[in-house]
């Protein structure tokens, strides 16, 4: 979505550059006899048709007797009065809309109270992937599924199965200390994020604002797209000054603005289609609760608790990328896995002491 917003920003900048550099209106006067007929015209299509069929026949070969300064004066006045407002201010509106969409899309990454939690969550996930204890636990899960070991009802027998030395290699002291520290860090992070739902509310708010902004842009832009035209009729009360009160004007940038406006509308429409998925995702399932039922079945760790609020929402976001992220994190929420790590550390320390005593 950021690439679409960047494309919208480039289109708005190109339109603004065109408007500042080469945008101008050129006007030619019409005779007074024709003023009575053109004042009754309301539809712009009728004006274009009348200007094509009738206007050239009356002014053909006739001297207008206006100097260059009068032409400039009439063109500047008609640019402000006859040209529709959307033709003059479309690039600025497109630029403001693009900047607002860019700000709302990344607001939760810039707001300190949400960005700090997201960065902390990503660092925890990275450490879960780097931890040898996670690899050991996942290898045990794979071995159990491959061997189809029956599930036991006795906690003690299951505990012995988890610390079986044949299931995975023994960790060294540094890896065990890192595993214990990661257990404590994830426990504190869970307690911190489950106490609030700020990330969920900020994400929902920015998603609603983006959808409302896209609908607003499509609404008023689709209505104003017909106002951009090459020909315009301008009525001015300067007949005593120039001898004419009706002028036929041409907008030099109308054709290019129409193409740029069509491109901008297409990009906004694509942005709306892509932005509809987060809305459906927010409505389709409850995102303030996360259950590890599948992990419990696969890992045979039935003590992994459900998590709530922001912690649950972050896990749902991680599942949008890869469900393995939540699986690795779930291993550090199990008290049985933590006790297993402590027992492995204790057995290793006791074995080391016995070897030292025998030596």
Predicted confidence band of residue 173 (pLDDT cuts 50, 70, 90): low
Is the predicted pLDDT of residue 171 greater than 50, yes or no? yes
Residue 235: phi, psi to the nearest 5? Answer: -105, 125
The whole-chain average pLDDT of the chain stands at 74
Are the CB atoms for 265 and 221 separated by under 8 Å? yes
Which residues, 6+ apart, have CB-to-CB distance to 328 below 8 Å?
125, 128, 129, 134, 138
| pLDDT tens figures, 283-330 | 888 888 888 877 666 666 667 888 889 999 999 998 888 887 888 787
Provide the pLDDT for residue 313: 92
pLDDT band at 147 (very low <50, low <70, confident <90, very high): very low
* Chain segment 328-337, per-residue pLDDT in tens: 787 777 766 6
Could you report the per-residue pLDDT of 47-105, keeping only the tens digit for each? 444 444 444 444 454 556 677 888 888 888 888 888 888 888 888 999 999 999 988 88
pLDDT at residue 190 is higher than 70: yes
- More confidently predicted of 350 and 196: 196
Per-residue pLDDT at 163 exceeds 80: no
* Total number of residues shown for the chain: 359
Rounded CA separation 190/240 (Å) = 81
Task: Give the chain's end-to-end CA distance (angstroms, integer).
Answer: 66
């Amino acid at each position: 979505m950021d690439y679409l917003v960047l494309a919208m920003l480039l289109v708005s900048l190109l339109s603004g550059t065109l408007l500042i550099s080469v945008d101008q209106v050129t006007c030619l006067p019409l005779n007074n006899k024709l003023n009575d007929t053109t004042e009754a015209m309301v539809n712009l299509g009728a004006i274009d048709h009348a200007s094509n069929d009738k206007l050239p026949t009356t002014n053909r070969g006739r001297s207008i007797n206006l100097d260059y300064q009068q032409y400039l004066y009439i063109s500047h006045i008609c640019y402000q009065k006859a040209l529709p407002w959307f033709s003059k201010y479309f690039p600025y509106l497109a630029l403001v809309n693009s900047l607002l969409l860019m700000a709302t899309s990344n607001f939760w990454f810039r707001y300190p109270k949400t960005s700090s939690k997201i960065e902390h969550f990503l660092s925890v996930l990275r450490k879960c992937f780097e931890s040898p204890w996670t690899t050991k636990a996942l290898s045990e899960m794979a071995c159990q599924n491959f061997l189809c070991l029956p599930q036991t009802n006795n906690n003690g027998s299951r505990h012995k199965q988890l610390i079986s030395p044949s299931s995975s290699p023994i960790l060294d002291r540094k890896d065990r200390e890192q595993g214990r520290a990661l257990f404590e860090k994830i426990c504190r992070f869970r307690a911190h994020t489950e106490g609030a739902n700020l990330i969920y509310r900020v994400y929902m708010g920015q998603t609603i604002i983006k959808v409302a902004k896209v609908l607003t842009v499509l609404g008023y832009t689709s209505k104003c797209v017909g106002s951009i035209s090459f020909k315009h009729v301008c009525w001015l009360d300067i007949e005593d000054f120039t001898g004419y009160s009706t002028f036929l004007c041409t907008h030099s940038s109308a054709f290019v603005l129409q193409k740029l406006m069509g491109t901008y509308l297409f990009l906004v429409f694509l942005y709306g289609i892509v932005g509809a998925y987060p809305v459906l995702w927010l409505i389709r399932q409850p995102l303030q609760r996360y259950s590890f039922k599948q992990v419990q079945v696969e890992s045979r760790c039935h003590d992994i608790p459900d998590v709530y609020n922001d912690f649950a929402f972050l896990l749902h976001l991680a599942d949008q990328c890869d469900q393995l992220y939540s699986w690795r994190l779930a291993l550090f929420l199990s008290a049985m896995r933590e006790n297993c790590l402590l027992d492995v550390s204790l057995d290793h320390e006791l074995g080391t002491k016995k070897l030292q005593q025998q030596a």
